[in-house]
Amino acid sequence: MGEFELIQRCFAEAGRKRTDVAIGIGDDGAVVQVRDGCDLVITTDSMVEGIHFFPDVDPRSLGHKLVAVNVSDLAAMGAEPCWLSLALTLPKVDEDWLVAFAEGLSETADYYNCQLIGGDTTRGPLSLTMIAKGLVPKGKAITRAGAQNGDYLYVTGTLGDAALGLQLVQNKVEISKKHRAHILQRFHYPTARVALGQALRNIASSAMDVSDGLAGDLPHILRRSKVGAVVDVSKLPMSQALKDSCSAEQALQYALSGGEDYELLFTVPENRRGSLEVLLSPYGVPVTCIGRITGAVGKLEFKQGELPFIYQHQGFEHF
């Protein structure tokens, strides 16, 4: 089998077969039927070897993660994931690697009810770029720009696990057997909060997903919404695995600045706060109030209970 056929075969059936795909892989372009009354939401995420993942990473988890991080951006907009495209740059065609990567991609696309509808392959240093497209009822996309003074600030799930996972795969920390699986799962197989994101359409005034760490990402909402925020670090939700695996100070550091948790960070106006817990309880994902939006434009303050908390963020900047 030639390289071209091999690649074609690996990705031909990736993901769920959707009835709204008129023309999928194999033509010059894909054709999809966009539902009436919906807006199309489009997002792109790239992963580059040596920057986003290590050369020895399990290709199956890489396929999973590429889909999950793209779908997470759709979730943050309140959109329903639908279609994926893939631009793949490979140094060589390694059949085992490709099959495992395609399987990880396919099972995760299937899980989120997405179909791979096209792509391109070129030769070069290993790099993966995905474009994810989703649908949201007209005018209902949740943006980063709607937070208002007085809104409550929430986050889903727990923070900091993926940052600890990154340390673990680099052999920089030791973790007890009991917690290893959970931490590695959170790092290699992140979950996009898709159902919850859609449930937030009529509740949240703004939202985003936490990919670069809370302290690095929250300022994006503050800038776009022209507001400030105060975060109580004693409220940050952390897993038992994280708390048991490092000092309280270190755990807090991971929760504040560690990337790749892919939880949702969102704001809720006071008058919708009462319905929040009831509406979100069926999703089985904990949501935690960690602070409030203020009128101090662009100012992000931290406190620890009633005490001020001094925190100097050193985030990761690509450029």
Indicate the residue among 209 and 261 with the shorter CB distance to Mg ion. 209
Instruction: Tell the smallest beta-carbon distance from residue 46 to Mg ion (Å).
Output: 13
Stretch that binds Mg ion, among 73-81, 104-112, 276-284, 306-314 (CB under 5 A): 73-81
| Sequence-ordered strand ranges (E) for 91-220 | 115-123, 127-137, 152-156, 206-210
Give the footprint of Mg ion on residues 185-214 (CB under 5 A). Answer: 209
| DSSP tally for the chain: helices H, then strands E | 10, 13
Helix (H) or strand (E) holding 232: strand 228-232
Stretch that binds Mg ion, among 68-76, 104-112, 126-134, 293-301 (CB under 5 A): 68-76
Indicate the residue among 41 and 168 with the shorter CB distance to Mg ion. 41
Instruction: Tell the smallest beta-carbon distance from residue 53 to Mg ion (Å).
Output: 18
Helix (H) or strand (E) holding 90: strand 80-90
Indicate the residue among 195 and 296 with the shorter CB distance to Mg ion. 195
Instruction: Tell the smallest beta-carbon distance from residue 7 to Mg ion (Å).
Output: 28
45 interacts with Mg ion by CB under 5 A:
no
Instruction: Tell the smallest beta-carbon distance from residue 273 to Mg ion (Å).
Output: 24
Sheet with 127-137, side-by-side order of all strands: 38-48, 127-137, 80-90, 115-123
State how far Cα 310 lies from the chain centre.
27
CA distances from 64 to 16, 76, 132 (A): 14, 18, 14
Instruction: Tell the smallest beta-carbon distance from residue 261 to Mg ion (Å).
Output: 11
Indicate the residue among 209 and 263 with the shorter CB distance to Mg ion. 209
Indicate the residue among 209 and 260 with the shorter CB distance to Mg ion. 209
260 interacts with Mg ion by CB under 5 A:
no
Indicate the residue among 255 and 264 with the shorter CB distance to Mg ion. 264
Distance CA 60, CA 161 (A): 20
Instruction: Tell the smallest beta-carbon distance from residue 98 to Mg ion (Å).
Output: 28
73 interacts with Mg ion by CB under 5 A:
yes
- # residues contacting Mg ion (CB under 5 A): 2
CB under 8 A, 24+ apart: contacts of 20-26: 20/82, 21/83, 21/115, 21/117, 24/115, 24/116, 24/117, 24/118, 25/116, 25/117, 25/118, 25/119
For binding to Mg ion (CB under 5 A), which residues are involved? 73, 209
